[in-house]
Structure 1
Amino acid sequence: MSANQIIGKTSRWLRDIGSYLPSSLRTCSQEEFIMQSLGIEDYSPTEAVQIQLIKWSKPDARWLKVNIDGSIGGNLGTGGGGGGICRDHRGELIVGFHNSYGRVTNTYVEAQAMADRLQICKNMGLSNIIVESDS
């Protein structure tokens, strides 16, 4: 199911259940309705949220793309880890990887994950690498 299909079905579901709601909730915006349904009474959005669809794009024919990400349990949380994948110009998986880094910052996890992945690619004899990260 595509993202558009999921959004469409969710929107229809929210619209359909609206007829079963008390009249006090029918006049609310979708965000207010959702927050009230979750028991969050003091919700007041400060600015409009803009949603942007982000899609992975294939690298050119002679290139590989490494996508990495890191995560921790709160800054200096209980533990951090990072991982990623390397794909070719057809989107085919070349190698996937992950590692645990212990109690560190998110910046450390992201940087170390990048360094580790590039070392793995180097050890495999891979070159012409594009690296993408969210940090």
Structure 2
Amino acid sequence: MLTCLCKILPLYSAIEMYLHKKPIPVEWKKPGYGWTKLNFDGSCKGPNGSWSSIGGLVRDHKAQFLLGYAESIGPANSTLAELAALRRGLELVVEHGLNQRVWVEGDAKTLVDILEKRREVRCLEVRRHISHINSVILPELENFVVSHIYREGNRAAHKFAQMGHHLDKPRIWRDVPPHEVLTIVHEDAQGKIVLRRRGLAK
């Protein structure tokens, strides 16, 4: 019986320690003066991402909403959906003349690492998107930084991406956000901290 307890106790202690880890405080941060911030997200549902959508929003240094977007993009894996969301967001930033200094933020750590550290990728579709961003869009920006944030700090973009699943055609909102994200945008502007349980993906 003692032998059995010795085997069980270390496992129990590990579980107890995991459950009692302190959550991580996550907060959306305003960009600096003269900067705009693009938060983006992709959403995949169904087997093999058979229903995918994208979304995101752009805010200024006062956290004021400038524009948002959402659309359904058909079949795509999570990386491609995130990348499509980023590409579309950057295209809109350029189209609307918001391209002086742009801070891009998303909750897809792998994609952020690819962009930030210029990592090589095997997927031809991913490489095509990244090549377009690097060669066509980024030269249009005066300054550009990219960072990762946990989903708890990317709630507004996540909501836009979820909304994309229900749209028949691409949708853009200017100056005034849709009511579905009003509360989140307001909470972000007020600096609300959302606690994240350790061990969660993204």
TM-score normalised by structure 1 residue count: 0.63
> Compared with structure 1, are the counterparts of its residues 130 and 46 closer, same or farther at alpha carbon in structure 2 (3 Å cutoff)?
same
**Secondary structure of residue in 2 paired with 1:53:** strand
State how 1:3-22 maps to structure 2 within 5 Å.
Answer: none
For the pair 1:108 / 2:80, whether they are aligned, the reply is yes
* Pick aligned residue for 1:48 from 18, 43, 49: 18
- By percentage of residues, which structure has more helix? 2
> Compared with structure 1, are the counterparts of its residues 75 and 115 closer, same or farther at alpha carbon in structure 2 (3 Å cutoff)?
farther
Question: Which residue of the partner structure matches residue 125 of structure 1?
Answer: 97
Question: Which residue of the partner structure matches residue 15 of structure 1?
Answer: none
What is the CA-CA distance between 1:78 and the residue it aligns to?
2.9
**Secondary structure of residue in 2 paired with 1:76:** helix
Structure 2 unaligned regions, length at least 5: 1-13, 109-202
Query: In the alignment, is the contact (CA less than 8 A) between 1:86 and 1:95 conserved in 2?
Result: yes
> Compared with structure 1, are the counterparts of its residues 102 and 45 closer, same or farther at alpha carbon in structure 2 (3 Å cutoff)?
farther
**Secondary structure of residue in 2 paired with 1:94:** strand
> Compared with structure 1, are the counterparts of its residues 62 and 72 closer, same or farther at alpha carbon in structure 2 (3 Å cutoff)?
same
Separation of aligned partners in 2, 1:114 and 1:65: 12
Larger Rg: 1
Could you report, residue by residue, the CA deviation over 1:57-102 in whole angstroms, capped at 9, with x for unpaired residues? Answer: 1110010001111110156233111101100000000001112110
Query: In the alignment, is the contact (CA less than 8 A) between 2:49 and 2:78 conserved in 1?
Result: no
> Compared with structure 1, are the counterparts of its residues 75 and 63 closer, same or farther at alpha carbon in structure 2 (3 Å cutoff)?
farther
Query: In the alignment, is the contact (CA less than 8 A) between 1:75 and 1:104 conserved in 2?
Result: no
Structure 1: which 4+ aligned runs deviate by more than 6 Å?
A: none
RMSD, aligned α-carbons: 1.9
Q: Which amino acid aligns with 1:48?
A: Y
**Secondary structure of residue in 2 paired with 1:121:** helix
Question: Which residue of the partner structure matches residue 96 of structure 1?
Answer: 68
Question: Which residue of the partner structure matches residue 66 of structure 1?
Answer: 38
Separation of aligned partners in 1, 2:87 and 2:32: 23
Q: Which amino acid aligns with 1:114?
A: L
Q: Which amino acid aligns with 1:124?
A: H
TM-score normalised by structure 2 residue count: 0.43
Q: Which amino acid aligns with 1:130?
A: W
Separation of aligned partners in 2, 1:75 and 1:68: 23
